[in-house]
Homo-oligomer: A and B are copies of this chain.
Amino acid sequence: MNYKKILEEIKIEVEPLIGIGKLADYIPELANINPNHFGIELRFIDGASYAVGDTNIPFSIQSISKVFTLTLAIKLIGNEVWKRVSVEPSGNAFNSLVQLEHENGIPRNPFINAGALVISDILISQLDHPKHQLLEFIKNISNNQNIDINKKVAQSEKENGYRNAALANMMKSFGNIKNDINEVLDLYFCMCSIEMTCSDLSEAFLLYCNHGILPKGNEEIISLSQTKRLNALMQTCGFYDEAGEFSFTVGLPGKSGVGGGIVAVLPGKFSIASWSPELNAKGNSVLSMKALELFTTKSGLSVF
């Protein structure tokens, strides 16, 4: 198959959608981004990769970081993670407090904000320098030493993060946050503010297609069984309350962020990362959603 040509066709087909979505507007750093960016990169386990558009411009990975922190937490404490956070789709918006109240402070899954806060708390308990060590971990799996936190974004997130502070306090009241709330929030806002390119993300996600092993160098990050779990979670919970729709139209496990990025994987085969800043009403990138749908249709490659 001519993957380069498929990606180029996709770019032409999705670009007319620019203007339909809206930029995230809760912090100025996201609201002021040029909305015309679009990039898509496809990367196979065997090393082949295909890139079209803005695949080397770093953007705010936002919730995509939740996959990395969860991976690191699993690497550190294994299945102990699942005593603190559940694995079921939430059926609710990504920052809902209702469910926490009804379920004793145990978040529905690690990809809603509450769940990611618990994962932050775990990292703080396990690591001496959580922020630094998380960043080193991401640099390693992305094979790029230049990845960094955008401190201005982190600061803005913090100043507007009352809903996340509410979630953290709520879970603390149930005993499901062990460390100081400000420390937990600080790590959470930092991880959301990491900037990466489509190229970085497709590289990092190769481990989820490759049984938990980095193809370059063969380092095992997590076990095969743990990888299967992560992929299942991305399939059922990776797209806020649009998980069903994504599973439905794209058919791949993946994760999106309000920075406009989406990464997905076909286990055993490839990872694919797309970026375009404008979002639909559910907070997923309009162009990236469409691009991935077109890719699975045109290539015939999906899990279903």
Q: Which chain A residues have a beta carbon within 8 Å of chain B's beta carbons?
A: 86-92, 96-101, 108-109, 162-163, 165-170, 172-173, 181, 225, 227-229, 231-233, 235-237, 241-245, 247-248, 251, 253, 267, 297, 302-304
Contacts and interface: CB of A to CB of B under 8 A. Distances in A.
Nearest to A296: B228
Given A87-B248, A88-B242, A172 B162 contact: yes
A176 to B, nearest CB: 11
Contacts of A235: 235-236, 247, 303-304
A243 B243 CA distance: 12
Copies in the complex: 4
A71 to B, nearest CB: 14
Majority secondary structure, A binding face: helix
A173 B167 contact: no
Contact of A91 (B108, B169, B267, B303): B108
A115 to B, nearest CB: 12
A243 B165 CA distance: 29
Contact of A101 (B98, B172, B227): B98
Contact of A97 (B101, B109, B241): B101
